[in-house]
Structure 1
Amino acid sequence: MLLQHYIKIAFRNLLKYKVQSIISIVGLAIGLICFTYGWNWYRYETSYDGFYPQASNIYRVYGIDKQTGKKVEQLPLILARKLKKDFPEVKETTQIYSKFGSTFHYGKTRLEDPDEEFIDEQYFHFFPRPVICGKKDDILKTLDEIALTRSFAVKYFKTPEEALGKTLRNGYREHITIVSVLEDAPKNSMMQTDVYELDKFDHERENRITEEMQWKQQSTIIYLMLEPTTNIQAFEKKINAYISEHDYNRSLRLKLARLTEVRHTFGSELTFNLSYIRTFTITGLLLLLCVFFNFTNLLLNRIYLRNKEMKLRNAIGADKKNMIFQLLLELTLLVWISFLLACCLLEITAGGFSRIFETTLQQDVLLSHLCIITGLSWLLLTGICLPLFLRFVRTPSLLVSGGIAPTRKSTFRKTSMTLQLGICIFFLMSTFIMSRQISFMKHKDLGFKKDGLIQLAMTFNDREGISREISTLAILKGFTQAGIFSITHEPQTQNEVEWDGKSLDFAPNFQVLQVGSNFPEVFDIPIVKGRFVDEADMISGHNPRFPCTKAVINEEAARIMNVGDPIGKKISVWDYSTYSDGTRGRAEMEIVGVIKDFQSASLRNPILPQVIVIDGSKWTSYAYYARTESGKEKAAIKAIRNVFKKHAKQGDPSTCEVQSINQILDQLSTSENASLQLFTLLAVFCTLISIFGLYSISSSNMEQRRKEIAVRKVMGASARTIVEMFFREYLAIVLIANLLALPLAWLFMQNWLQQYAYRSSVQPWMYIAIILFTTIIIICTVLYQTIRAARTNPAETIKSE
């Protein structure tokens, strides 16, 4: 009965102070849900492939190019052999070899080109997969065997059992037997492959070239299974010393990435990288802290408003323990209602969150983590509030004064309000800087005309028929091939570019583009000097991969080469071929022109030096670009898609990759736009929570201090003096909050801006704007209560007391 009585009182108090109760409940629910999403997203993204039995001991070896600082994913196969032989820390290695994908056929039926992985015999010992049917142990033993995933088997053979034993052929073998059908990889796995096959290409090449040449063949992804007791930092130093001592590869520094870290170590093309996800989690935590401060302030404010009630209870003999229990029960009730509201929000928003942020979050896991976070929040709030409750019950002076008064009794409230406002300012400043950077990116001159430009990827079989018909479409003003060039976060580069006068230890990364002769016209890029390459510069039989004897470079390449006038100079590049002895083929060309610099990747990258040649596969290229009038992109894309559908054959993909450049640039800036939306939303939440909380507290503060105001007025203080007194107190909080938050926001955003090669600067006026904005907000929030309190008749106040 006593508990029921306390619960009734708690509900009555929540209803009595309903505005403050609603602010507390809604604010805490939003804080809980935001941090739950951030924490779950971070845990999910850092658990990729963590379900394998030996995941904690599996590491991927990768290189860092000592000169350019770029990550090198593929390493020499001989490195794996050396590590296993000479380092006792290495229990076993497995390699994923170069991709040599090809078209598969079953009888006369053409299968869609699968995602094929060439592996070694140890692969499934590292990454075991449930076997639906077929061989379960030592799955692949010969070159004539392959393993399929369930989805690929069902797509073409209806059931896994029907696929088992079937014989296929591809571009390399006439007879390949399906010996196992594996379960599809979970969504949180990097191993999303349709077909697994043993490698023969890299092994055959390694067996016929010298050891010195083997160290130059960087074509293998290497995974190590280390002893559980291995110190990773010490092991890294050890293998780098080993490489240096034996002079195996001077250009590389080796690093290790834990299996669960691989996705984001090489995730440059991911829409949301780990840095963004960490930011999301940290901002969720900051919002939760802001809510904590507001929640505590409002709770204490309601308690101070009830001092007469507590005095009366104390006078009629209420036990202090019971009073503490009553206050804790009210705190618990608020947290419990917030949790229920957060559960409702979770149910409503979980699907949308997964779609927007391209991730997979399980409802049951989210709910369990929400319970844990809510429990921890309750413990933290109890730990903060309990000492204050005890002080409130035991100290008579606390029952007299309250609010933001210039006494030591309001120290906690001033501190918490300052920190809460500081978090609000942090989000406001971060949002301000972020919005300027995104605006800068959207309006930056890319060096070419992006409006009206369309990118196509020829993934269909009839490339020639499609590209010829598209080139005749009336809606298009221009059409050109571009080899494999597409605008991405991480452009394909090579550092094997040579020219006369180049120093031996200088190996900058160049972008080598193979394009059509009308490429500058389609992109609307001016020629700075000389001329552009054309089809007359191609010589049949000269070089199958680079049949062009002339080349064009961009301004950045001319600057890096530092040869004065580059026209007429010779330049050579790796032509992507490797001879039987391990040496690399080269293509030598004469520079005939310099083209204006243009942004060929996202703005996370600087403009790269470029060598541009004619693409020999005019009608069978992989990438094409089309030019239409600005505003007609949608109509042009529709016309191009109709051509794809007209020429579609069996085994072609269900969708054709046609997008405007503006769409591609929007996709490349998805994480930036999402960051801005996130920070804007959090800034709005924090601002509203702070305003409502401050309004409620200042209102009750004026009420509690009306006797003090009356006495000051009787002693001769004017209304203006009273207003100035209160404004000074609140302005001090605003200024201190700005002094704390603005430097932190600057540090945080400077780190965020470092990922961009081109970025906006933080100007002093931006700090002034934020300080003025927050000052105006606070003044407007407390202005009405302050003026009303200052104008109150002191005689009426003293009489009522």
Structure 2
Amino acid sequence: MIKNYFKIAFRNLIRHKSFSALNIAGLAVGMASSILILLWVQHEKSYDRFHAHADEIYRITCEATEEFKAAVNPAGMSPALKSKISTIRNAVRFSHPSTNVMEYGDKKFEENQGFYADPTLLEVFSFPLVKGDRTTAMQRPDAILITEDMAKKYFGHTDPIGKTLKKNDNDLVTVTGVLKNIPANSHLQFDYIMPISAIASTNSDFTTNAWGNFNYYAYIQFDKTFNPTKTNLAALEMQMDDLFKLHNTALKATFHLQPLTSIHLHSNLQIELPGNGNIQYVNILFVVAIFILAVACINFMNLSTARSARRAREVGMRKVIGAGRGHLIGQFLGESILISLIALLIAIALVWLTLPAFNYLSGKALEISIFDIKMLLTLIGIALVTGLISGSYPALFLSGFKPLSVLKGGTKLGGNGNLVFRNTLVVLQFVVSIGLLVGTVVVYNQLHYIRNMNLGFEKSNLIYVPMRGDIWDKQDVYKNELTRNGLTADFTVTDYLPTNIVTGDVNIQWEGKDPNSQLIVPNMAVSERFFDVFQMKMASGRAFSSDFKGDSTNYVINEKLAKIMGLNAATAVGKSISYWDRSGTIIGVVEDFNFKPVQQAIEPMILRFNDWGGTVVVRSQPGSTEATIKALKEINTRLNPGYPFSYGFLDQNLDNLYKSEQRLGSLFNLFAALAIFISCLGLYGLSAFMAEQRFKEIGVRKVLGASVFNVVYLLSRSFIKLILIAIVIAIPIAWYAMDSWLNGFAYRVDAGWLVFVLASVVATAIALLTVSYESIKAAVANPVKSLRTE
């Protein structure tokens, strides 16, 4: 019986080629879109789950104020917890990402993807070690673990174990292990790891057992017997708070335990490791995948029910010769499943062809393999569910015809119930399409606003060069060389770039400050030309100057800090302020500028005089960027031959902060276009069916004098009404969704009425163009052809 269902279904596909092509094309594009999104969603949700003990690992985070929640904690926290709490099986700390120059033979590279970590790294985490001994690889202070790619870069195909790399043109480190390349779905990304013992003897966090510096990412692994309920975790967090108070009574801080598997999508903390995702974006695109598949299913239902007249007599004959309703439902569901399976094959081919482009847009390295049984079953499941859903209503509708009425021709097959259902589906299609169009415009406007908003400084034409190696001891010579060259003379020195500053201190005092308040103030150390090079504006007072020797103990603050102090820009100048017990005078107030991503509001900032170095920032003249880089390279190579020259652009750093939003915008554009395309396929099919159904009526109207415009309007007006209804429904839904997304930005555009008008006009225009083709074709046809049989 099933074989017969599929045989008849296949014959129907061949007989009605245009109908079959529209249905298969719509389902294939819908499935391909959904598969691409689901691959992306699956990848986002798989982060850190490859570790054998993923469910037992938690990261320690801290909260110093309601606004300041960070991913770091003191160096002593995790070892102390491990020694005091028996349910903690193990702990491991990571430093901030470390940049070092590595050299082997004639190969020398700057490596900026490294960490210092505890020797327990390979006990807690399951990063595969392809060469070396897991138990001893991190024990010696001069050890280094490198990834396969890094091993190949320096050592080719020879065994790197025991080989020595020169670090920073000075220290020697020995390769004790080779790690498999770190999976893309790990929130910890690195090319090499060195033991914390290598810096323990020189780092003040260890030599003084400091509990006031929050410089380390710490992870703990619970014993298998520990039950991580909310109550148990809360009790442990209280123990962490009490432990901190024993070592630091001056600072108020609370600590929390964050599951390893929730870090990538659910962590929006300060001083976070780069590369985190956003659960909101995952949910948005998952809903988009469902909507696009739903739009494709709606197409199938619409076209199938619209063609009901052609199948009515078939249904009548089958019932007369004994077919039950269940058999007919099986027949029609079999047809829809067959169409769905054919569409799945085409969809897989489309995914395979478009995956490289999709990976480029999404910044991922996704793969699809039909030899993966789990993946294959998932794809077949999608096809079966799509076939059952899309074929369910046509099957129930067609199988319900009364045979006697159908064969006599007395049943109104396109009745009101069927028409209302079809119209409802068309409205739903365009609600989705208009919603996605609104999302596309709003995301574009917000990204454009971010790129072009006034940050409080001019970000273009700024080239930065980190000070490395011998430059530290030749700063006067270095600055003189930069000054002498006209291309590099417009420079300054700063310890941090004002793009995403992650430092902050509470040791700041001024007259009248509430002794019970705890304010975390980010800081920068800048040289005298900083404000000129960055083209910042002083609200009051002056900038640092080499003409004033006392500036080494003076400060510049921003307007936000002046306001917190209860002052304005004018009255703040001349006031005393103390930073880390170093008293000085406020000599200037700079206008507020953004030094963190624009999702965050401007925070208070204190700037001190830089007399030790950091990063050189040069403002190049328009059109001379390449020449400026060449001049910088020549100066750095001559003064610092042991280090490779490296540089960056400030505006590119800023753009990188909004990569996830940019990718969301690109994906929105893509899937909005696909949703509209699928909707238009269905609309085209319906308009063609209506034109065919009313072929004789059109002929009569033309004979009686109707113009082409009259006929086109006749066939199009019902669709225009449906689109107008869809606009009314879509606008409030889209406004709520976009307003919720925009609320995540401290600085945002307004989703104004013009956005909704534009999206509505575009959707209407596309729909009219789609419908007009068949309408005009019918309107210009010779009426004699349609009436000669009458």
TM-score range, shorter chain: 0.7 to 0.9
Tell me which residue corresponds to 1:658.
648
What's the offset of the Cα at 1:194? Answer: 1.6
119-128 vs 398-407, which moves further: 398-407
Partner of 2:572: helix, strand, or coil? Answer: coil
Tell me which residue corresponds to 1:27.
26
Matched, 1:531 2:536: no
Question: 1-side partners of 2:669 and 2:177: how far apart?
Answer: 51
Question: 2-side partners of 1:682 and 1:2: how far apart?
Answer: 36
Question: 2-side partners of 1:646 and 1:346: how far apart?
Answer: 52
Tell me which residue corresponds to 2:281.
276
Change (3 A) 1:696 1:129: closer
Decide whether the 8 Å contact of 1:75 with 1:222 is kept in 2.
Answer: yes
Tell me which residue corresponds to 2:258.
257
What's the offset of the Cα at 1:374? Answer: 4.6
Question: 1-side partners of 2:516 and 2:259: how far apart?
Answer: 32
Tell me which residue corresponds to 1:75.
73
Tell me which residue corresponds to 1:583.
none
Matched, 1:616 2:614: no
Partner of 1:513: helix, strand, or coil? Answer: strand
Question: 2-side partners of 1:402 and 1:445: how far apart?
Answer: 68
Provide, for residues 698-757 of structure 1, a one-character-per-residue CA deviation record: whole Å limited to 9, x for no partner: 3323544679999999xxx99999999987754553344334332332232122212211
Work out the number of aligned pairs and report it.
768
Decide whether the 8 Å contact of 1:31 with 1:291 is kept in 2.
Answer: yes
What's the offset of the Cα at 1:591? Answer: 0.7
- The correspondence for 2:591, drawn from 566, 582, 596, is 596
Give the TM-score normalised by the residue count of structure 1: 0.81
- The correspondence for 2:363, drawn from 358, 371, 374, is 358
- The correspondence for 2:442, drawn from 419, 433, 438, is 433
Partner of 1:336: helix, strand, or coil? Answer: helix
Question: 2-side partners of 1:686 and 1:379: how far apart?
Answer: 19
Q: Which runs of 5+ in 1 are unaligned?
A: 540-546, 575-585
- The correspondence for 1:295, drawn from 293, 297, 300, is 300
Q: How is 1:148-163 mapped onto 2 (pairs within 5 angstroms)?
A: 148-152=146-150, 155-156=153-154, 161=159, 163=161
The letter of the residue matching 2:219 is: Y
Decide whether the 8 Å contact of 2:594 with 2:602 is kept in 1.
Answer: yes
Question: 1-side partners of 2:207 and 2:464: how far apart?
Answer: 41
Tell me which residue corresponds to 1:413.
422
Tell me which residue corresponds to 1:332.
337
What's the offset of the Cα at 1:572? Answer: 2.7
Provide, for residues 167-205 of structure 1, a one-character-per-residue CA deviation record: whole Å limited to 9, x for no partner: 778799988765545444334331525233243766997
Change (3 A) 1:757 1:704: same
- The correspondence for 1:761, drawn from 747, 750, 756, is 750
Matched, 1:455 2:460: no
The letter of the residue matching 1:234 is: T
- The correspondence for 2:496, drawn from 484, 487, 499, is 484
Tell me which residue corresponds to 1:577.
none
Q: How is 1:419-568 mapped onto 2 (pairs within 5 angstroms)?
A: 419-458=428-467, 462=471, 464=474, 469-476=481-488, 478-488=490-500, 491-538=502-549, 548-564=552-568, 565-568=571-574
What's the offset of the Cα at 1:88? Answer: 5.1
Tell me which residue corresponds to 1:226.
222
- The correspondence for 2:232, drawn from 210, 214, 235, is 235
Question: 1-side partners of 2:739 and 2:287: how far apart?
Answer: 16
Tell me which residue corresponds to 2:602.
607
What's the offset of the Cα at 1:72? Answer: 1.9
What's the offset of the Cα at 1:758? Answer: 0.4
- The correspondence for 1:628, drawn from 605, 611, 620, is 620
Matched, 1:669 2:658: yes
What's the offset of the Cα at 1:388? Answer: 3.1
Give the TM-score normalised by the residue count of structure 2: 0.82
The letter of the residue matching 2:299 is: N
Tell me which residue corresponds to 2:192.
194
Question: 1-side partners of 2:109 and 2:258: how far apart?
Answer: 36
Provide, for residues 465-499 of structure 1, a one-character-per-residue CA deviation record: whole Å limited to 9, x for no partner: 766545444345622222222424x6443343322
Question: 2-side partners of 1:784 and 1:358: how far apart?
Answer: 39
Partner of 1:605: helix, strand, or coil? Answer: coil
Question: 2-side partners of 1:760 and 1:445: how far apart?
Answer: 14
- The correspondence for 2:394, drawn from 366, 388, 392, is 388
Compute the RMSD of aligned alpha carbons. Answer: 4.6
Tell me which residue corresponds to 1:751.
740
Matched, 1:16 2:6: no
Q: Which runs of 5+ in 2 are unaligned?
A: none
523-532 vs 326-335, which moves further: 326-335
Change (3 A) 1:355 1:83: same
Tell me which residue corresponds to 1:579.
none
What's the offset of the Cα at 1:626? Answer: 1.9
The letter of the residue matching 1:238 is: A
355-364 vs 419-428, which moves further: 355-364
What's the offset of the Cα at 1:427? Answer: 0.3
Provide, for residues 23-63 of structure 1, a one-character-per-residue CA deviation record: whole Å limited to 9, x for no partner: 43333223222322222223223333322221121111111
What's the offset of the Cα at 1:786? Answer: 7.2
Provide, for residues 606-653 of structure 1, a one-character-per-residue CA deviation record: whole Å limited to 9, x for no partner: 233222222213xxx332222233344455445545655666735x34
Identity of aligned pairs, percent? 25
Question: 2-side partners of 1:675 and 1:297: how far apart?
Answer: 31
The letter of the residue matching 1:629 is: Q
Decide whether the 8 Å contact of 2:312 with 2:398 is kept in 1.
Answer: no
What's the offset of the Cα at 1:126? Answer: 0.8
237-246 vs 385-394, which moves further: 237-246
Question: 2-side partners of 1:467 and 1:402: how far apart?
Answer: 93
Matched, 1:688 2:677: yes
Change (3 A) 1:503 1:536: same
The letter of the residue matching 2:491 is: F
Decide whether the 8 Å contact of 2:483 with 2:489 is kept in 1.
Answer: no
Partner of 1:262: helix, strand, or coil? Answer: helix
Partner of 1:257: helix, strand, or coil? Answer: strand
The letter of the residue matching 1:478 is: D
Question: 2-side partners of 1:686 and 1:167: how far apart?
Answer: 56
What's the offset of the Cα at 1:134? Answer: 4.5
Provide, for residues 648-676 of structure 1, a one-character-per-residue CA deviation record: whole Å limited to 9, x for no partner: 735x34x72232x4434433333333322
Change (3 A) 1:383 1:505: same
Tell me which residue corresponds to 1:581.
none
Question: 2-side partners of 1:180 and 1:425: how far apart?
Answer: 55
Decide whether the 8 Å contact of 1:528 with 1:596 is kept in 2.
Answer: yes
Decide whether the 8 Å contact of 1:537 with 1:549 is kept in 2.
Answer: no
